[in-house]
Amino acid sequence: MHGKGAYERLRSEKQHASSLYFFQRASPTGSETLKPPASKPILAYFFKSGAFIASPKQQSLYRISLHIEEAVLNLLEKAPDKVKPATLILPFATSAKDRTLPFTEEMEMAVAFIMAESDRKKSEGLILKKPAEELAFLTKSCYPIWLVPWSGKTLLFDALGVSARTILYEVLPEVKTFVNDIQGSATTRQAYSAALQDHLHYFESVKRVEEKTVLGLITSKDFLQDFQQYLIEAEEVEQSEIEVCLTPVIDEAALSSSISELSELRATLGEEMQSLHEAMRLINAATKQHVDTIRVEMKKMQADLNERIAEAKSLAMERIRQIQEKYDARILKTSQRFEKQLQDLNQERTKLEKAEGRVINKIERCDAEIQASKAQKDSGGERRWKDEKETWKREASTLKKSIEALDKQIEQTESQKKTEIANIRTEFNAQSEDAMKDVRELEATRESKTQLSQQEVKSMEDSTSAILSQLDTLTKKKRAALEELDRIGIREQRRKIALVHAPVYLACFRTEARRKYLVYPPSVAGSMKATTKLKGMLGMSKLGSLFQPRSKTLSNVLNQVTALADRDPVFEKDLYEAGTQASMLKSAESRERILKGLGALRNEEWVSVNEAQALDALLKT
């Protein structure tokens, strides 16, 4: 993530008082100094002999910068270790495991020159011919990266300030206000329940989200992993041994400020987690206390009412016993009366049934006599018996009707008996229930108060659960933010700050219209393989197999020099002038070393004879 605005603010504050972006060269002899370009009086070049500032105004601004640095150094002097930042240098080229031949610095310089020449655009087009690019300079410089111990690990800062990390910080609702309201309302149950309802959605969402941008902080996981492996090869040196480097934009004062911000943020997150835990503990304890009180009161109320119910029930049962005796006597009397009626009716019915039986016998005898008269052909006798039979049939019909009437009367009497007894029982039940009135009222009071207490407990527990859930969610978010903050560095404990110099080759290509910059990052030198030789036979370049960037993420960070040059004209101009002055193509000694490296590459067959001759000619022009 690039912090363009933060970078420009920092540059504006510095007012170009020192050479923040441009090259420093250590004096080989200890006394040699290089004068800054006359057209750029604001540039300062630092050497073992001191610093050069052009104008009184810049001197004043520079002194302010020195005062800031001095304050940081004073803080460091007061620290337990009382040490100044270490200076580390990383190797540009590392031999691959399968490479057995040494890879010299001259070969490294030669490869950089070959890659720059390969990337330089040649003349193109037949009609509208585009001009060829000119290799304005090629220099080996160092990209500065700070290593800062913090919270048991090491943070990495892009010392040029191109990288940045924006940390999102969720601002909590006022936990103290919530705690004060809960504590103030906790003495009475009604006030506490009202406070819970008032704050039911208090922690449902954060109030706002703030952004904290830490200039220069590098947090890419892949970069941190790759750079930690790269650091194994670092060598501690004196600052004066670094020949050419880009001067840090972010100094120790800026680092101290960033570390303070991170420490403050970490402390704030810890305090907020503690305050959230305290709020959870408080509401848990207050709710438990009130719920326990409600349950104790409910049990006491139930015990008191149960005792009163038992007493009332004892009195009611005695009264019901008396009522029952009265109504049992009425039921007995009523039952006896109806039983007498039913007995008389049943006796009458029995008489009728017997009479009916005798009539039926008479009818059967008449039938027999009729048959006998027919057999004897006694028509007079037959007629007399038939007349007698009719008489008995009429008698039988009358008896049957009388029996049916009696059956109906018996049925009605039994129904009346049941109705009257049922009415007596209804009266008894009504008077019994009236006797139980006090008991029923006490039972209803017990159930009503129990239900109200249970509802109060449920309401309080539900409100507490909802608020605790919100507090728990916020606590998890804060814990996640703290864990994310703890993951931003590498797991390496250092006792002091260190400035690591990652070497790069920086090339500038120039045409009349524009200037273009390329960065060649630290790489791994390989060995000649059969496939590489095949590429050479097909006319393809072999250098792609010789030199491979050691880390894509590292290359991305180091390539930020070109991005900064593209967007900042002032930086680009100063970079161009400083780079031109420090170019290794200007020195006859450097050219000789490049030629020596070309010879070594030719011996390993990485370049052909024709390629070596063409490059040799370019270096000698």
pLDDT at residue 87, as a whole number: 92
Residue 365, token pair as written in the block: 């005898």
CA dihedral for 456, 460, 465, 467, sign (positive or negative): positive
Please report whether residue 419 resides in a domain. Answer: yes
| Average pLDDT of the segment spanning 145-163 | 92
- Domain of residue 370, CATH code: 1.10.287
* 101 and 156 co-located in one domain: yes
Please report whether residue 260 resides in a domain. Answer: no
* d(C-alpha 496, C-alpha 185), whole Å: 51
Task: Judge whether 255 and 146 are in contact, CB under 8 Å.
Answer: yes
Find where tokens 């509802």 sit.
455
Please report whether residue 364 resides in a domain. Answer: yes
For residue 96, the one-letter residue type is A
b/e 87-119 (16+ beta carbons within 10 angstroms → b): bbbbbbbbeeeebeeebeebbbbbbbbbbbbee
* 19 and 148 co-located in one domain: yes
Check pLDDT > 70 for residue 78.
Answer: no
* 158 and 70 co-located in one domain: yes
Residue 235, domain extent:
4-172+207-250+493-620
Check pLDDT > 90 for residue 67.
Answer: no
Cα 449 off chain centre by: 44
* 519 and 577 co-located in one domain: yes
Please report whether residue 74 resides in a domain. Answer: yes
Please report whether residue 378 resides in a domain. Answer: yes
pLDDT at residue 620, as a whole number: 78
Name the phi and psi angles at 527, rounded to 5. -120, 160
pLDDT at residue 125, as a whole number: 55
pLDDT at residue 532, as a whole number: 59
Query: CA geometry: angle at 599 spanning 596 and 605, to 5°?
Result: 150
* 84 and 29 co-located in one domain: yes
* Domain termination residue (choose one: 391, 424, 450): 450
Check pLDDT > 90 for residue 91.
Answer: yes
Task: Judge whether 37 and 589 are in contact, CB under 8 Å.
Answer: no
Domain count, the chain: 2
Check pLDDT > 90 for residue 99.
Answer: no
* 105 and 237 co-located in one domain: yes
* d(C-alpha 330, C-alpha 426), whole Å: 13
CA dihedral for 444, 445, 449, 455, sign (positive or negative): positive
* 115 and 211 co-located in one domain: yes
pLDDT above 90: percentage of residues in the chain: 50
| Average pLDDT of the segment spanning 362-390 | 88
**DSSP summary character for residue 240:** G
Please report whether residue 195 resides in a domain. Answer: no
| Average pLDDT of the segment spanning 51-74 | 46
Whole-number average pLDDT of the chain = 83
* 499 and 397 co-located in one domain: no
- Nearest 10 degrees: Cα torsion 233, 234, 240, 245: 90
* Domain termination residue (choose one: 450, 475, 508): 450
CB atoms within 10 A of CB 425: 14
pLDDT at residue 435, as a whole number: 92
Nearest residue to 305 via CA among 439, 451, 432? 439
pLDDT at residue 130, as a whole number: 74
Check pLDDT > 80 for residue 398.
Answer: yes
Model pLDDT for residues 108-144, shown as the tens digit of each residue = 999 999 999 988 988 765 555 677 889 999 999 999 9
Check pLDDT > 80 for residue 101.
Answer: yes
Residue 546 — very low, low, confident or very high, per pLDDT cuts 50/70/90?
confident
Residue 265, token pair as written in the block: 């943020």
* 405 and 522 co-located in one domain: no
Model pLDDT for residues 286-329, shown as the tens digit of each residue = 999 999 999 999 999 999 999 999 999 999 999 999 999 999 99
Q: Specify the DSSP element, H or E, that contains 318.
A: helix 252-376
pLDDT at residue 587, as a whole number: 87
For residue 149, the one-letter residue type is P
Please report whether residue 466 resides in a domain. Answer: no
Residue 498 — very low, low, confident or very high, per pLDDT cuts 50/70/90?
very high
* Coil vs helix vs strand at 509: strand
* 411 and 356 co-located in one domain: yes
**DSSP summary character for residue 62:** H
Check pLDDT > 50 for residue 56.
Answer: no
Between 107 and 529, where is the model more confident? 107
pLDDT at residue 534, as a whole number: 57
Model pLDDT for residues 198-241, shown as the tens digit of each residue = 999 888 876 688 888 899 999 999 999 999 999 999 999 988 87
* Domain termination residue (choose one: 450, 479, 502): 450
Check pLDDT > 60 for residue 20.
Answer: no
Check pLDDT > 60 for residue 46.
Answer: no
Q: Say what angle helices 252-376 and 175-185 make with each other, to 10 degrees.
A: 50
Task: Judge whether 146 and 497 are in contact, CB under 8 Å.
Answer: yes
* 395 and 526 co-located in one domain: no
Strand partners, 150: 153
- Residue 401 makes CB contacts below 8 A (sequence gap 6+) with none
Model pLDDT for residues 431-483, shown as the tens digit of each residue = 999 999 999 999 999 999 999 999 999 999 999 999 999 999 999 999 999 98
Between 354 and 493, where is the model more confident? 354
Between 553 and 34, where is the model more confident? 553
pLDDT at residue 10, as a whole number: 44
Q: Specify the DSSP element, H or E, that contains 194.
A: helix 189-198
Cα 179 off chain centre by: 25
HEC string for 192-216: HHHHHHHCCCCCCCCCEEEEEEEEC
pLDDT at residue 155, as a whole number: 94
pLDDT at residue 58, as a whole number: 44
Residue 55 — very low, low, confident or very high, per pLDDT cuts 50/70/90?
very low
* d(C-alpha 445, C-alpha 453), whole Å: 12
Strand partners, 505: 140, 520
Please report whether residue 603 resides in a domain. Answer: yes
| Percent of the chain as helix, strand, coil, to the nearest 5 | 60, 15, 25
Weakest mean pLDDT among 51-55, 450-454, 487-491 = 51-55
Residue 2 — very low, low, confident or very high, per pLDDT cuts 50/70/90?
very low
* 101 and 20 co-located in one domain: yes
| Average pLDDT of the segment spanning 546-574 | 89
Check pLDDT > 50 for residue 1.
Answer: no
